[in-house]
Structure formats: structure tokens, C-alpha cells
Amino acid sequence: MRKKLIAGNWKMNGSLVANEILIKSLLAGVGTPVCQVALCVPAAYLAQCHSLLNGSGIDLGAQDVSQHEVGAFTGEISCAMLKEFGARYCLVGHSERRQYHFETDSVVALKAQRALASGITPIVCVGETLAEREAGRTEEVVKRQLAAVIHANGHCISEIVLAYEPVWAIGTGKTASAEQAQQVHAVLRAQLKAASSQADRIRLLYGGSMNAANAAQLLAQADIDGGLIGGASLKAPDFLSIIASVN
Ligand code: PEP
């Protein structure tokens, strides 16, 4: 049985003051959730969030990591550094990284490999653009993105978390319907099953304008094992009600 995971992606939002208010509100309201909960915060705030979350049931995650281990890579952050601040998860290949920072499938696969080798669980993001969906290319695109990660990671693939995030649904208020999301998740699950006998363990998150109103229906789908939540993770009541909708 896969334990569901609700992960917040703060993106480039927050401040020392706002983070403290948000985390304290989450800790006050979260109770004992039936799912796992994580916050993927900006790197600059890992230390602060690590100390605020320490000993709580909420895990810490980063939003990106270098594919390199150490050395002359100005501006980059290594897995070892993330580990020092208690990061359990790291987003890899978010569509904003692919789009604005030109991360290719092979770079994403190397980042996932580096994270796994360091004991950090990569949350690997895949998803099609609106043009790709309209051209009937959704399956081809997500399968290509996942194939690169499977190829680089071999049997370790069962240790990843996979997030299906249709690009057209991220930050737009347009959510994939539960049926649309489940259909793609089933395709991804089948691809994982062909690669690993442990594929049933892998959590597949849906991300893209998930909110308090649509979470329950999405999370009830057979192959949707949680959510990756951007905008709604910045508001404690909204994020808490998504967590509460997991059963
Ligand atoms: C995301 O950034 O991963 C995301 C899903 O954002 P939003 O929930 O705001 O669409």
C-alpha cells in the first residue's frame, strides 16, 4: 500500500517572516495526517525551515540540485549541502526548470541519479505543454521524459517519486480532470512496471492547480498517490485542507 504524499512547492516565494508564520500555522493545524507531508522551499530558506520543521512530522525538500558532486559550478547547490540541512526530497525537472533553465531530459536524469546516490528522494516532474496535448502527443512526451530517468537509474528507479504535472495546468487555475490525470498516471505506472518489479511502490503525484476544492477527487484515483502543490501550498488553510482530503 503506497502512503500518499502531499508536497508543497513554494517556488520563489517567501521571506523569513512569512515562512515562520506559514510553518507555524501548518504545524498548529496539521494534527496527525494519514499521508506524508513535505515542503519544498527555496534554497536560501532551507536552514530556517529545517529548524522550524525539526522534529515535526513535516519533511523538508529542495526545489533543485546540481547534477555534479562538488567543485567549480558557481551558483549550484550539491546534494551533500541539501543533506546537511535535512532535505529528504528534492524536486527534479520541474517544468519551470526545463523551460527557463533549459534542463534537458538527460540533465534531469543525472540530477535524479545524484539525488538517489546521496540518499535524497528525487521528485521527478514530467508533463506536456498545451501544444503537445493538443497535438495528441501527451503520452509520447511524458514517456520520453520518464524513459531518460529510467535509463540512467536502473533498478534504483523504484526509489523515486514521480510527479505528473501538465504544464498547461501549472499556476493557471486549469486542472486536469481526474480522468485525464488518471489516464496519464496509468500510462506512467505501466512504463514503470515494465522497468521494475518494484513499480507498485512508486508514488505518482499529480500537480497542476490542485486546490482544496479539487483535491479529493484527484486523490481518489487509483494511480494518484498524492499531490505536488504550488500556489495553494502558500496558504496554510488551503494546504491543510488538501492534506485533510487524503483518506
Ligand atoms: C507546481 O509548481 O508544481 C504546481 C503544481 O503549481 P500550482 O499548484 O500553482 O499549479
CA of 72 to the centre of ligand 1 (A): 32
pLDDT recorded at residue 179: 96
Provide block-wise average pLDDT over 10 residues at a time, the chain (247 residues). 95 98 98 96 98 96 98 98 98 98 98 98 98 97 98 94 97 92 98 95 97 96 97 98 94
Distance 190 CA to ligand 1 centre (A): 25
Annotated catalytic, 165? yes
CA distance 46 to 78: 13
Q: Of the listed 103, 128, 165, 185, which one is catalytic?
A: 165
- The atom number, within ligand 1, closest to the CA of 165 reads 5
Closest approach atom of ligand 1 to CA 172: 10
Annotated catalytic residue 94: yes
Cα distance between residue 151 and residue 146, in whole Å: 9
Predicted confidence at residue 174, as pLDDT, reads 87
- What letter would DSSP give residue 120? -
Q: Output the pLDDT for position 57.
A: 93
Q: Is 71 left (phi over 0), alpha (psi -120 to 50) or beta?
A: left
What is the position in ligand 1's atom list of the atom closest to the CA of 125? 3
Residue type, 211: N
Number of domains in the chain: 1
pLDDT of residue 116: 97
Nearest-CA residue for atom 4 of ligand 1: 230
d(CA 152, CA 138): 22
**pLDDT at residue 155, as a whole number:** 87
- What is the spatial distance between Cα 200 and Cα 190, in angstroms, rounded to a whole number? 10
Contact present, 44 and 19 (Cβ < 8 Å): no
| Domain span at 108 | 5-245
Domain with residue 137: its CATH number is: 3.20.20.70
* Integer Cα distance of 202 and 66 in angstroms: 23
Q: How far is the CA of 71 from the centre of ligand 1 (A)?
A: 32
C-alpha grid cell, residue 221: 484515483
Ligand 1 centroid – CA 229 distance (Å): 5
Query: What's residue 127's pLDDT?
Result: 98
pTM confidence score? 0.97
Contact 141, 180 (CB under 8 A): no
Rg (CA), the chain: 17
| Strand (E) or helix (H) holding 164 | strand 161-164
